Amino acid sequence: MKKFAMAIAAASMLGGVYADSCASSMRGFYAGAQLGLNSVSGKQTIDAGANSLNTDLGKKSFVGGLFAGYGMGVGTCAYVGGELYVNFGNNNVTIEKTNTHNATLKGTYNFGAKVRLGYTVSQQAMIFLGLGLERAKWQVKDVAAAATDKKNKTNIAFAPSVGMDMFINKNMFVRGEFTYVLAPKMKIEGAATGTPVVGAGATYKLNATQQRFTLGLGYKF
C-alpha cells in the first residue's frame, strides 16, 4: 500500500512538471515572417437597366508578410496571446474587361491584430484559434481610352483563423495558418458624369471574401 501511494505521488509530480512545461514552453515574445497564397472571391452586380451585370469574380495571388506578438500559458496546457501582422501582395482582380475599358479591384497590403487562443498538445506543438480584425485599402480602377477613374475604400474586417505552431528547437518554430477574411464590400453610385466602373445613373455593388493560407518561420525570444 505504501509503495502504491508513493507511485501515485511520483506520477502526480511528473504530471505536474509536464503540465507546467506545456503551459510555459511557448511563453514570451516572438516574431517571424510568412509566405503563402491568397484567394479573393465573391459576387458583383452593376445595376444599369438593360446593361446590368451579375457575375462571380475570383483571383489567386501570392502573399508575404511579417508577424510579432506575445503569449503565455494559462492553467495546464492552455495558451492566450496577442499578435500584430502585416501582409503584402498583389490582389488584382478583373471586374470587367471590354474593348473600351478595363476595370479592376486591387489591394496590395493589410494590417491586422488578433487574439490567439491555443492548446499545447506537446512541449513542441500548439494548435490555435485566431480572432482578429484586419485593415486593408482597396481600389477600383477603370482604365478607358478617354480617361482613368479610381475609387478607394479602406475596409476593416473580421478575420478568424486556425493554425498550428511547431517548435524546431527551443526558440525556432514553423507555422501553418488558414485565415478567412470577410472583405471587401463596396458600393459605387453613378453620378451624372459617371464614376469608376459604372456610368451615369448606374450602381455597382461588390461583396467579396478572402481565403489565405500561409507558412511561417518564427523565433521566440
Predicted pLDDT at 12: 43
Predicted pLDDT at 145: 64
Residues of the chain under the 50 pLDDT cut: 4-19, 192-193
Q: Which domains does the chain have, with CATH numbers?
A: 2-220 (2.40.160.20)
Whole-angstrom CA distances from 47 to 54, 57, 83, 151, 186 are 8, 17, 41, 18, 14
Entry pTM? 0.80
Predicted pLDDT at 89: 87
Whole-angstrom CA distances from 138 to 15, 65, 110 are 51, 18, 10
Predicted pLDDT at 199: 63
Per-residue pLDDT tens over the stretch 114-154: 999 999 988 889 999 999 999 998 888 877 766 677 778 88
Predicted pLDDT at 53: 66
From the number of C-beta atoms within 10 Å of its C-beta (0-12, 13-18, 19+), residue 215 rates as: middle
CA dihedral 146, 152, 130, 208 (to 10 degrees): -50
